[in-house]
Every structure is written in C-alpha cells, then in structure tokens.
Amino acid sequence: MVGVTGRPSPEWTAPERVARPEDLDPRLLRLTGRTGRLQVVVEHYVPGAGRCPACGWPVLRRQECPSRQIAVCLLDGRPRPVRLAHLAEVIPGARTGRDTAAERDEQRRIEDGLLGLFTAPARAPERGQP
C-alpha cells in the first residue's frame, strides 16, 4: 500500500479541548479540605468512556476528567499534569513545582484548621526535623 501513513488526515483531527476554570468543579476553586477533595474524586469517577457524570467533560478514560485529576493531585500533594498547568493561579493549594518545608507547614496548618467529618490526628514532623 503506497502512500498510507499512520497519522490521521488533518480534516479528521479535532483540536483538543482545553480546561477552563468554569469547567472545573466549583469546590476546587475555593480552599477545600481533604474531605471536600475526596468528595470531588468520588463524584467525578467515570467508569468508562463518554462524559464525566458530574461535569460533563468528554473523556476516553476515567483519569481524564480535569476536576478529578486536580483533586487527586491536591490529595497526593503532587504537581498537576502539564495540560492543566495553566490553571495554577485559579486553584488554591495547587503545586506548580517544588515547595519549601515552611510552605508545606503553612499549608498543613491551614488545612488542619478546616472543618471536616472528624478531628484530624496530630501530624508527625517531617523526616530530618526535630
């Protein structure tokens, strides 16, 4: 077969949709505690392809919902995926790169002060700190 390439024809490719702040779950746009973030992850769980049941975002896999990805990153304390990096100024508590121990302590102090379903256990100091 001469002239066949592995790339789709340009007229068949659609531009990738970019997440905007109004596409995200509104709870992520304000300072939320761990309980609120877990609720976002649960509500935006997509068992298969189609649309996210909470925000309607078109997804091929459940990991592709931007609200779910940001909530998981906030829970794990890791930076967001590159395709969501443009939302850095909009989402409170979202990491954009490396942070210092003082920044982490301040963030933990704020999060520990938020109301939740139960009282938070006392935090142990980080490794290497007295």
pLDDT digits (tens, 9 = 90+) for 38-88: 888 888 887 777 888 888 888 877 667 888 888 888 888 888 888 888 887
Going by the DSSP 8-state scheme, the letter that residue 44 receives in this structure is T
Q: Rounded mean pLDDT of 94-114?
A: 74
Q: Where are the domains of the chain?
A: 17-96
> For the chain, first and last CA: distance in Å?
69
Q: Which carries the bigger pLDDT value, residue 13 or residue 36?
A: 36
Which H helix or E strand runs over 34?
helix 34-43
Per-residue pLDDT, 123: 72
Backbone angles phi, psi at 115, to 5 degrees: -75, 145
Higher pLDDT: 111 or 4? It is: 111
Condensed to tens digits (0 to 9), the pLDDT of residues 4-31 reads 666 666 555 555 678 888 888 888 888 8
Phi, psi of 50 (to 5 degrees): 130, -120
